[in-house]
Amino acid sequence: MSDCLFCKIVAGEIPSSKVYEDEYCYAFRDIAPQAPTHILVVPKAHVSDIAHAGDLPAGTVEAILSAIGKIAAQEKLENGFRVVSNCGPDACQSVPHLHFHILGGRKMGDRMA
């Protein structure tokens, strides 16, 4: 999508701090980190949120899940990490391109919200 922030990051039109890339997905450091390690993993194909993940090209969801494990190892998050995908206004999603937050490097709260 031409006016999508994360599509522009994937295309290299907006700079980002890349940590991982494969045929299906791209990962980069969040601009406003909420943990010592805060990485966003996005599909290269555009869908607005996780509710539309079924519309992604075959193999994309598997690639993202596999990438999350690879990134966690790369970032040495052996003590654990949290994965979050906000969907829609009630979840305060601010960028309407599906993304998974990987949060790690500190102890997370024991409640989801």
Smallest gap, in angstroms, from Cβ of residue 24 to ligand DGP?
Answer: 19
Site for ligand DGP in 45-74 (CB under 6 A): none
d(CA 40, CA 18): 10
Site string for ligand DGP, 25-44 (x = CB under 6 A): ---xxxxx-------x----
State residue 32 phi and psi, 5-degree precision.
Answer: -130, 75
| Residue 108 interacting with ligand DGP (CB under 6 A) | no
d(CA 42, CA 111): 25
CB under 8 Å, gap of 24 or more: what pairs does 92-95 form? 93/49, 95/5, 95/6
d(CA 61, CA 109): 27
Site string for ligand DGP, 82-101 (x = CB under 6 A): ----x-----xxxx------
d(CA 68, CA 90): 25
Tell me whether residue 58 or residue 105 sits nearer to ligand DGP (CB atom).
105
| Residue 16 interacting with ligand DGP (CB under 6 A) | yes
How many residues of this chain bind ligand DGP (CB under 6 A)? 14
Residues that bind ligand DGP (CB under 6 A): 5, 14, 16, 28-32, 40, 86, 92-95
